[in-house]
Amino acid sequence: MEKFTVMTGLVAPLARDNVDTDAIIPKQFLKSIHRTGFGQFCFDEWRFMDRGYLGIDPASRKPNPAFELNQARYHGASILLAGKNFGCGSSREHAPWALEQYGFRAVIAPSFADIFFNNCFKNGLLPIVLPADVVERLFAEVAAQGGYCLTVDLEKQQVLTPSGEALSFAVDPLRRHRLLEGLDDIGETLLEADAIAAFEKAHLAKSPWLNKQAAG
């Protein structure tokens, strides 16, 4: 996984609560058996007037001018500012894939849904929880200033505003460490392979039915 240390980027606002993963990446794109190619379909139903499908010619798409991310001032944004309970619904990891492949490296919101939040860390996309009133203020600042950028410093656990204000955020120490170092979760867990094997042996000996196989 790519390391995440410090990044500065243009902020795009999506001022809605309960943005679900169906909205982030609609069902028809889940037919893909690949991990890439989702960025062009991120927020597809909101972002385009026509209906997308796998294999559609990107040049043929009709952007929805009313959708926030389509405004010229937000082109090239790498930080998404969102409402509460962002990423609710389906566990599809295609959602963080789509956001990351669209160009986002961080999402800032007052709260996130649990599965989405967890999936983000596996893909170098940093979900940042800031208090609702702070997010509210950031929405106002983004609207008021063209080219509004924020700096995210994972090492210091801070978001830095253009005025120099440092907004602290909490992050699970283990997740922070792995993102900073770009470590592979599976590789790290397999360092405990002996402990897992020992646990498993005792666990299945105690409850042998856990490993029962059905006939046929």
List residues binding other proteins (CB under 8 A): 16-18, 20, 22-23, 26-28, 30-35, 45, 51, 54, 83-85, 88-94, 96, 111, 113-115, 118-119, 122-123, 172-174, 185-186, 189-190, 192-193, 195-196, 199-200, 203, 207-216
What does the chain come to in residues?
A: 216
Instruction: Work out how close the CB of 59 gets to other proteins at its nearest, in angstroms, rounded to a whole number.
Output: 21
Q: Which is nearer to other proteins, 78 or 90 (CB)?
A: 90
Instruction: Work out how close the CB of 103 gets to other proteins at its nearest, in angstroms, rounded to a whole number.
Output: 20
Q: Which is nearer to other proteins, 22 or 149 (CB)?
A: 22
Q: How does 18-42 read in b/e, with b if 16+ C-beta sit within 10 Å?
A: ebebebbbbeebeeeeeeeebebbb
Q: Which is nearer to other proteins, 9 or 96 (CB)?
A: 96
d(CA 67, CA 184): 36
Q: Which is nearer to other proteins, 10 or 29 (CB)?
A: 29
Instruction: Work out how close the CB of 45 gets to other proteins at its nearest, in angstroms, rounded to a whole number.
Output: 5
Are residues 149 and 8 in contact, defined by beta-carbon separation less than 8 angstroms?
yes
Q: How does 69-94 read in b/e, with b if 16+ C-beta sit within 10 Å?
A: bbeeebeebbbbbbbbbbbbbbebbb
The amino acid that residue 34 corresponds to is H
Instruction: Work out how close the CB of 160 gets to other proteins at its nearest, in angstroms, rounded to a whole number.
Output: 26
